[in-house]
Structures are given as structure tokens and as C-alpha cells.
Amino acid sequence: MASPITTFLLIPLVKIVVILTFILLTALYLSFFERKVQGYIQIRYGPNRVGPGGWLQAVADALKLFAKEDVTPTKAERFVFLLAPVLIVVPALVVFSVIPFGPTDTWRLTDINVGILFLLGVSSVGVYGIILGGWSSNNKYSLMGGLRSAAQLVSYEVPMGFAIVSVLLMANSLSLVRIVEAQKEAGVWYFVPGIVALYIYFVCGVAETNRNPFDLPEAEAELVAGFHTEYSGMSWAFFFLAEYANMIVVSSVATVLFFGGWLPPFPNLLAPLWASPVLAWIPPVFWFLLKVAGFLFLYLWMRATFPRYRFDQLMRIGWKVFIPVSLVNLMAIGLGVLLLGGAR
Amino acid sequence: MSVWSFLASLVPLDLLQGLAVTGKYLFTKKVTIQYPEEKKEPADRFRGMFGFSEERCIVCYSCAKACPIGIIHIASRLEEFEVDGKKKKRQVLQWYDIDVKRCMFCGLCEEACPTEPVAIWLTTKTYETVAYERNERLYFTKERLQNWDGVRPFPGVLTPREGQMPDDPKGEKGKK
């Protein structure tokens, strides 16, 4: 039998390294695809000179960031200034520990029974990175960006929470693995009954990750670059990395909660088809990554399409529209679960 | 907040419309010209690298006078030669230098040229005149103005020495 050291130290360490490498590479290439998608939408090609078809562009960008000087402003609060990028990037990466990439234990780091709670709690810590980074830079633009981001995150966490709770009601569990399995048992992915919840969740997710059209913390027309105005080199790269990692987190969670995680389309209806020798070789993680990629593409598509909201519009949508609607939606889904006997 | 604006914020149809537009453009043909591999053919009146014909030049100095920044430097000498036993004198070019690095391609020299067809012209469709050293390589003597040493002609374009004409950089009219 495997010794405890192998089970509790070696295998998780290998998994951590694999997941981290995968996430970092994805984040790196997400920036490349972002430029590509934006280019294609703007009727041009985007980066296509570095390497075949531009595929080494992301590597070149990473090398450039490694080589750049890391400038700390003289009047900055030095310790906090250097701590902030770590505070933002660590939660963004830690949440991947509970995300199930596939059906078996091989495909995930852990399955804790309060997975979604852990995920929300840890990812909320990321706001400290933004606030502290904005404050310690000793720059009015950074501070304004940090404050805006904090207000935005606090406002949108509420409807996002309600949207997630409606899924938890349907699945009757807080474990992300259990939620996916419940979708298989229910025979329908939760985006069908929870279409409103999905919409609210995704819009709030976009707001939480400070992406267009909610990228007010980085509104370059007003705030230069917002909370990371004073950052350069690797510490800037950490903010950048955290933003893309958070996008992947939001997309993964949307996949798990609403689109059946690693399940193939119509897992029960087409079960013979998926078990057939032709299609059985497709690993479940393929479906998971495909769905995540779909959400990520939606992110990039929105980035290339929407103008930025004004700050009061942002707050109005958060407090006056999404919170009441998500509350009503929560009640409706609760009623539905009660009447249809979904809750056990 | 009215019911209408509440609904409009909840279901942003205008934003979905925007997504539809950008989604359509994602698949349209791209307008980018991939420069070193593809080159856009300049218009017929595009002002590019100089073409110069020493044969047609009558050494009247009009172009040098017309040049607003005085970058055309001409020197000539009188040369004697005999026609039918008579001695005649004629101006012959000694130098005809253009400091192309300072040229703004206004084309006033071409307008001032009295010969027909003109002896100096800019409608050559050629714009790849880059050089690593500007004082030597972008200072064109009369020989370099004609053989275009250091200039990459636009594909299909002849150099002035090979017989390019002011209105016909590719030498197509002569063939017909």
C-alpha cells in the first residue's frame, strides 16, 4: 500500500505543480488569445510575427516582463507595496485546489465538502491585494482605482452569492464535485432552471475580475492604470497573472455550477453514444476545458465589444437591479425545489 | 428608476446587439496588408523615390530654384563641341545631387521642370529607400538617381536607367 508520505505529500505536490503550470500557461496564452480575438474582431490579424503564427508572442512577453526593472516609488510603503502582488496572486491560484477538472480523484487536488464556500472566501482575499496595492503606491490614481475596485467587489459579491446559493439549493450540497454529480442525476444542467442565476453570476464574475465593461479600477482615461499604475516588471506581472487566473476561476466555477463540469452534453440521454468505443477515449477533462474555453472566449468577446460603464451606472446595476433580481430568483428556485421535491 | 430602465439594465438588448456586430466582424476578411510579404500598390500619383534622366535634363536649374528647402545641388560647366564644322557651347551637368533624407516629397521640382517628358519625377511607386546611414546612403548623386543603388524598386518598376518614364514606372506603355 502507498505510504502516508506518498498519499498526503508526494501526490498532492505533483498535482499542485501540474495545476500551477497549467494555469500559468493558460493565463499566459489567454493574453495572447485576447490580442488575437480583439484583432480579429477589429478586422486585423493581431500578433502573428513572433514564431509560427505568432505563437511565441506570449513567451516573448513573459521574458520581457522577467527582464524588466522592478521600480518601487520612493514614497511608497515599501513592504506593503511588495506584499500586495503576492496577496492578489496567491488567492487566485489557491482556489484551483477545489476545482474538479474530472470525475475521479486523479483530476482534482481535493474535494472538501464546503468547496464553494472555501472558493468564495479565498477569492475574496484578493481584494486586499488591490486595496493595499492602490494605497501603498502613494499615488492618487492608484488609491482611486483601489477604492473603486473595493466598492465594486463588495457590491457584486452579494448578487453573485445569491446566484450561487440558488444552485446550492438545487444541488443540496456545497461540494463542487457533488454539484456536478447532482446535475448528472437531475438529468439537466443547472443553467436551464437557473438561467437567471447564470446570467447574474457571469455578469458579477466579470465585475469581480475587473474586466470590460466593468474595468473601472483600471479606467485608463481617468486613472492611468488604476491600482497598478506604479507597478512594473514582475510585480506588475503578478497583477496581470491574477487577473487572468481570476477569469479562469470564474469560468471554471460557472462551468461547474451551471454547465455540468466534466460531463459530456446530455450525459444520460446520449449515454450509449458517449460509451461507444469511438467517443469513449475523450477524457472528461476535455469537456470541462471546452466549456471553460467557451466562457473565456465570451470574456474576450465582451472586452472587444463593450464600452466602460460609468461608476454610478455600475453601482446602480449592482444594487438596484442585480440584488433584487437575484433575491427574487433565489425565492423562485427555492419554491421550485420545494414543490418539485428536489431537496432531500 | 422606472420599470423600463430597470428592465433595460437587466436585459441589455443593446449590448447583445453589439455582441452580434462584433461577432460578425470576427469572421470577416481582414484588411491588414502583411507588409514585407504583401505590398500595396501605390496610386499613380503617389510621390515616391526620385526618377532622373540625365539625357533630358537641360541644366536650367529650375528644379533647384523651385525646391523650398534647397536640397537639389546642381553644378554645370560649358562644354564645346562641333556641329557641321561650327563650334558650339552647351551646358553639361557636373553634379546633380539630391539630399533625399531632407526631402519632403512636395513635387515642386517636377512641376518646375520645363522638359517634356520631365527630367525629374516622383511618380515612381517606389518607397523602400531605407538606409542604416542617412548622410551617405540617402544623399543621391546623378548616377545613383538613375541606377537607384541602395533603393529597392517597387515590384515590376524599372529604374530610370532601364528606361522608366515619368507617367509609366513599369515601362508598360512602351511595350504596346
Residues 20-79 (B) with a CB less than 8 A from some CB of A: 21-23, 25-26, 28-32, 34
Nearest partner of B125 among B39, B33, B32, B57, judged by Cα: B39
Distance CA B43, CA B39 (A): 12
Q: Long-range contacts for B104-110 (Cβ within 8 Å, ≥24 apart)?
A: B104/B68, B104/B69, B105/B47, B105/B48, B106/B47, B106/B68, B107/B47, B108/B66, B108/B67, B108/B68, B109/B63, B109/B64, B109/B66, B109/B67, B109/B72, B110/B63, B110/B166
What integer pLDDT is reported at residue B66 of this predicted model? 92
Nearest partner of B102 among B127, B72, B77, B63, judged by Cα: B72
Asked whether residue A41 falls in the same domain as residue A110, the answer is no
What integer pLDDT is reported at residue B108 of this predicted model? 92
What integer pLDDT is reported at residue A1 of this predicted model? 57
**Domain presence at residue B157:** yes
Q: Across the A/B interface, how many CB contacts are shorter than 8 Å?
A: 45
Domain boundary among A39, A67, A95: A67
Kindly identify which residue of chain A lies nearest to residue B5, measuring between CA atoms.
Answer: A321
Measured in angstroms, the CA of B5 and the nearest CA of chain A are apart by: 10
Cell numbers standing for residue B122: 516622383
Asked whether residue A23 falls in the same domain as residue A105, the answer is no
**Domain presence at residue B149:** yes
Chain B contact set for A41 (CB, 8 A)? 22, 25-26
**Domain presence at residue B133:** yes
Q: What are phi and psi of B86, to 5 degrees?
A: -95, 145
Q: B25 and A41: CB-CB below 8 Å?
A: yes
- Across the strands, what pairs with B87? B82
Asked whether residue A279 falls in the same domain as residue A335, the answer is yes
Write down the ipTM of this complex.
Answer: 0.70
Cell match 487536488: residue? Answer: A109
Amino acid at position A97, single letter: S
**Domain presence at residue B64:** yes
What integer pLDDT is reported at residue B176 of this predicted model? 59
Measured in angstroms, the CA of A149 and the nearest CA of chain B are apart by: 21
Asked whether residue A56 falls in the same domain as residue A123, the answer is no
**Domain presence at residue B72:** yes
Measured in angstroms, the CA of B11 and the nearest CA of chain A are apart by: 10
Question: Cβ distance A63 to A233 under 8 Å?
Answer: no
DSSP string, A98-151: T---SSSGGG-S---TTHHHHHHHHHHHHHHHHHHHHHHTT-HHHHHHHHHHHH
Cα-trace Rg, chain A: 21
Q: What is the pTM of this model?
A: 0.80
Query: Other C-beta atoms within 10 Å of A163: how many?
Result: 29
Q: A301 and B28: CB-CB below 8 Å?
A: no
What integer pLDDT is reported at residue B112 of this predicted model? 92
Chain A contact set for B32 (CB, 8 A)? 43-45
Chain A interface test: which of B22, B24, B27, B35 (most A C-beta within 10 Å): B22
User: Touching check for A44 and chain B: CB below 8 Å?
Assistant: yes
Reported as type and span, the H/E element at residue B139 is strand B139-140
Question: Cβ distance A240 to A64 under 8 Å?
Answer: no
Number of folded domains in chain B? 1
Chain B contact set for A317 (CB, 8 A)? 9
A241 three-class SS:
helix
Asked whether residue A14 falls in the same domain as residue A91, the answer is no
What integer pLDDT is reported at residue B174 of this predicted model? 67
**Domain presence at residue B167:** no
Q: A301 and B10: CB-CB below 8 Å?
A: no
CATH number at residue B77: 3.30.70.3270
Q: CA of A277: how far to CAs of A88, A188, B105, in Å?
A: 45, 25, 70
Distance CA A85, CA A87 (A): 5
Reported as type and span, the H/E element at residue B140 is strand B139-140
| pLDDT averages per 10-residue partition of chain B, 176 residues | 79 86 88 86 87 88 91 89 83 89 90 89 86 87 86 84 81 70
pLDDT tens for residues A219-244?
777 777 777 888 888 888 888 888 89
Domain boundary among A42, A67, A92: A67
Domain encompassing residue A333: 72-340
Chain A contact set for B23 (CB, 8 A)? 301
Nearest partner of A126 among A168, A164, A85, judged by Cα: A85
Question: Cβ distance A336 to A169 under 8 Å?
Answer: no
Asked whether residue A279 falls in the same domain as residue A249, the answer is yes
Which residue ranges of chain A lie beneath pLDDT 70? Answer: 1-2, 341-344
Domain boundary among A15, A40, A67: A67
Chain B interface test: which of A42, A309, A312, A313 (most B C-beta within 10 Å): A42
Measured in angstroms, the CA of B36 and the nearest CA of chain A are apart by: 11
Q: B34 and A45: CB-CB below 8 Å?
A: yes
Domain encompassing residue B115: 51-162
Number of folded domains in chain A? 2
Asked whether residue A95 falls in the same domain as residue A55, the answer is no
Asked whether residue A284 falls in the same domain as residue A313, the answer is yes
